[in-house]
Structure 1
């Protein structure tokens, strides 16, 4: 039997899992890799600590499996997109990594938007402007840390960095780098004119060559093997942007299904074979794993991280107690609204989180219900935009930590009015990366990814109540926007 290792590097955890070619999981290990938040708006990661943690979870996964590492035929990495992991000209980490949720470049992005830069970029990149894009962070470093900027030797994203530590080879993987605002979606290559437009053309020579998701990018070195327990010479593939990984594991085989991710980020994605050159809604495009296919998504960091913050600040409640308490409240009946912008907004740059409508009779459970609702109301912003591009959608395939809550899932079905299909695949990041390793190893028959899904049907009466409260939410955030 052959085995394949998938690594998933997310916003909170790094995981490693071993699968056979049927998709059966044999072992999994995970470790927390909490971000560093030393200043307002700063979200960083220690690169050496990340690699040490990655090597540890690989080693522990192999040990748990009791498998001979010689039977691991290939491995891949799925990871957060955007952000920057910089190496100097000796390939040594150049300070801390800056993650996609970092907002230090807010003033730069605001200026670009006022100057019409976004409109110039979009026809070439089909990307929005965001504070966590590599280009935004690089421009901030150029302006604020010029000495560091002058030492840049390689611009990577998170799975590119981990792949480098495993193989010693520098590459940027296509599904991720295609969303950097340095990549021309039409030519499939970096575009120097983009770097010039953003006044960071100096880094163009430090962009590593592009590698496909299922292409072997290098082989595990002896040093990495000694640390991780892998065999020296094990093939390492390009890997995946985690948004692509979840879409892949959701089997988006036509334009009638969308993938909803409720994890650290709220993400709605679909797969298409063509790019709209003059779209009504400017959605984000990136390269998909198949030739001539693209992933389209709309997203923001407005998801279940808001719930984790609330639990941390206002008392440790079990998820079972929270779900039980919310289930006992009438749907959408409370006046309490929650705006889930603790880590960024999908309405306007600089908008912040908050509760509104609290009265003396409200309890902690009413506030938690409002958090659940607020996360889904924010999701609806993205879903409604995506439905303009995918108007035939009738199924939402949902992944992410929030799927463990049947209360939250039924709430989403009732609010959206759409059928929900929740996969039994818990580790879509690891499995998606392992699937790329299988493809590189010549595995033709892919695992069945859509069997035994849990189905949620919308309740028409609750749909009306949630839509009415959603309209209140929309009016509230529009009013808040006027305060900026």
Structure 2
């Protein structure tokens, strides 16, 4: 007798890396394969990816997973793909891409967003969708396309997101999840599209582009023969439509916590990778208080549950900048640059040894500005309050503290701080960031042992869809809780008292700097325009 399938595959197609992960039916990770993703950045704020290349790389990643796991095709019970959120992936009636995808990083819709945010319509949109407008949203990008490239919209039949494109490539079905479709074009209370939102946005004529909303824990479709051949899997394998990467990571990383009597606890979930995402899940509608300044309200695949999220554009990007600066300094001095892992280890030690609060650092190093807890495309990083005594360790600590102050800023914008924070992302491996996040927020920090939380969240959706577990709540003990570390990083009370005093200063300085950021951007634009005219005349 042929053994029954005993594996689930979760795919996480991030902005920079595509990962395919095999899990057993109890949620234990078996193997992982990865492929670098390619982002095309262009002047003017464009950030794009090629749709066909993304599918080809995903298929190649699954074939690579098959090289690691014997008999993967037969053993796979089901699969699901999560992916980078927001963005606009247009396809025509034949299913072919209509130009490159606009990613969540794309900032070209800033003017359209600014105009709508300054109008009375914005408050009505936020009340309905639970989400404040920003340039990452598909709605904002459709407005930019309508103004700048209307011929592309005219050729398009469907506007997908990244995970939806992969689901279409796997199954031929055009669909999106309530998680992503509703916070952009719907009513968060009803978990359905709202025609009033499209009308208010001025996008009613493009309503036909929106795909059906599908709950991937209740529906699956068969893997097509063509996709199976591309991926090295078995035709007919069930494919579930997962939620997007951030809520999938919240799910896989421990952000859904059930307390006494079955109510969900206010547990924070921080994802500190290149960007930072912070939030909590609630099944109480009164907890959801959307802000017109920033933030998301996303439907989770549990009855009545929403995740409230706030993002800041640059988290570990700040550490990448600091490491690059240190490497450049070493080269300048004629010294050998240590391997990145060793340099990072030294940096963590220096941060933990340095005195706290020697300077304030606002971590806005992303060139497309900030999107949470405020939206400002001109925002730039700044170091303030330092003197000649601020050395390398103090500077490094200020950068790490700035990342954690930004996290607290996001949590405060969402309401009362959570009782505990579950941390995932690359920064979870940093002892300095774990300790500082605990001390800056005054909350204990717990880290999931799970390496691939987003892929686990996707695979968990597939597990429920095919009946491996009856519901997500039933799956939490094995799939999520068992992966949480028993060790908790506790806040340092003395340091927390200092950060409590510094936090209002941090917020005040950020707000006071905004006119200066705008003036700086205008000065740079004028200078660039002058240089361009001079070059044209020469």
TM-score (norm 2): 0.84
User: Which runs of 5 or more residues in structure 1 are unaligned?
Assistant: none
**Mean CA deviation greater in 115-124 or 91-100:** 115-124
Q: CA RMSD in A?
A: 2.1
| 1:422/1:102 CA distance change after superposition, 3 Å | same
**Mean CA deviation greater in 402-411 or 164-173:** 164-173
| 1:293/1:143 CA distance change after superposition, 3 Å | same
Q: What secondary structure is seen at the aligned counterpart in 1 of 2:32?
A: strand
Q: CA deviation at 1:74?
A: 0.5
Question: Are residues 1:5 and 2:14 paired?
Answer: no
State how 1:54-453 maps to structure 2 within 5 Å.
Answer: 54-180=58-184, 182-249=185-252, 250=254, 251-253=256-258, 254-276=264-286, 279=289, 281=291, 284-312=296-324, 314-315=326-327, 317=340, 318-332=343-357, 334-335=358-359, 337-342=361-366, 343-345=368-370, 346=372, 347-357=374-384, 359-360=387-388, 362-388=390-416, 393-444=418-469, 446=475, 447-451=478-482, 452-453=484-485
Given candidates 51, 54, 58, the residue that maps to 1:50 is 54
Q: Distance in 2 between matches of 1:164 and 1:367?
A: 48
Q: What secondary structure is seen at the aligned counterpart in 1 of 2:320?
A: helix
Q: Distance in 2 between matches of 1:468 and 1:378?
A: 15
Q: Distance in 1 between matches of 2:159 and 2:139?
A: 10
Q: What secondary structure is seen at the aligned counterpart in 2 of 1:118?
A: helix
Q: CA deviation at 1:133?
A: 0.6
Higher gyration radius (CA): 2
Q: CA deviation at 1:404?
A: 0.4
Q: CA deviation at 1:360?
A: 5.0
Q: Distance in 1 between matches of 2:175 and 2:220?
A: 7
Moved over 6 A (4+): none
Paired positions, count: 479
| 1:295/1:213 CA distance change after superposition, 3 Å | farther
Q: CA deviation at 1:278?
A: 8.8
Q: Distance in 2 between matches of 1:186 and 1:280?
A: 12
Q: Deviations over 1:187-244 (max 9, x none)?
A: 3322222212111222211211111031334221122111111111111101012222
Q: Distance in 2 between matches of 1:133 and 1:323?
A: 35
Q: CA deviation at 1:284?
A: 2.8
Q: Distance in 2 between matches of 1:198 and 1:471?
A: 35
Q: Distance in 2 between matches of 1:125 and 1:103?
A: 21
Question: Are residues 1:481 and 2:514 paired?
Answer: yes
Q: CA deviation at 1:386?
A: 2.5
Task: Tell me if the contact between 2:129 and 2:187 (Cα under 8 Å) persists in the aligned partners.
Answer: yes
Q: What secondary structure is seen at the aligned counterpart in 1 of 2:180?
A: helix
**Mean CA deviation greater in 256-265 or 433-442:** 256-265
Q: What secondary structure is seen at the aligned counterpart in 1 of 2:277?
A: strand
Task: Tell me if the contact between 2:317 and 2:365 (Cα under 8 Å) persists in the aligned partners.
Answer: no
Task: Tell me if the contact between 1:169 and 1:217 (Cα under 8 Å) persists in the aligned partners.
Answer: no
Task: Name the structure with the higher helix share.
Answer: 2
Q: CA deviation at 1:52?
A: 1.0
Q: Distance in 1 between matches of 2:436 and 2:72?
A: 45
Q: What secondary structure is seen at the aligned counterpart in 1 of 2:235?
A: coil
Q: What secondary structure is seen at the aligned counterpart in 1 of 2:415?
A: helix
Q: CA deviation at 1:450?
A: 2.2
| 1:94/1:410 CA distance change after superposition, 3 Å | same
